């Protein structure tokens, strides 16, 4: 098994939480539509005005997902 990555989309401002939650809906639709072997999705609060939406994925499957969804950043997935 290769490295596991966490693709991250940042949302800031007073509507950040709601926007991140909505973004996860689209990530999950993409996973189903494109049959992606996802490790999971979710929302995390970094502070009152900064939330992230994320998707976990195997490094080998990452390039086409990255190119299609254009995450803001990524890091190693730690489960």
Is pTM beyond 0.75? Reply is yes
- Identify the band that residue 14 occupies on the pLDDT scale cut at 50, 70 and 90: very high
| Phi, psi (degrees; rounded to nearest 5) at 16 | -60, -45
Could you state, in order of their start, the residue ranges of all structural domains in the chain?
A: 4-76
DSSP letter at 38 equals E
Interval 8-20 mean pLDDT: 98
**Sign of the alpha-carbon torsion through 6, 11, 14, 17:** negative
pLDDT of residue 78: 81
Query: Is the pLDDT reported for residue 1 higher than 70?
Result: no
Architecture per CATH, 4-76:
2-Layer Sandwich (3.30)
pLDDT tens digit sequence for 39-79: 999 999 999 999 999 999 999 999 999 999 999 999 999 86
d(CA 47, CA 6): 19
């Amino acid at each position: 098994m290769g490295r596991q990555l966490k693709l991250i989309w940042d949302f800031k401002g007073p509507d950040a939480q709601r926007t991140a939650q909505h973004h996860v809906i689209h990530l999950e639709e993409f996973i189903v539509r494109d049959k992606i072997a996802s490790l999971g999705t979710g929302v995390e609060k970094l502070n009152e005005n900064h939330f992230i939406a994320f998707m976990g994925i195997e490094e080998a499957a990452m390039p086409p997902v990255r190119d299609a969804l254009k995450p803001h950043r990524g890091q190693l997935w730690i489960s």
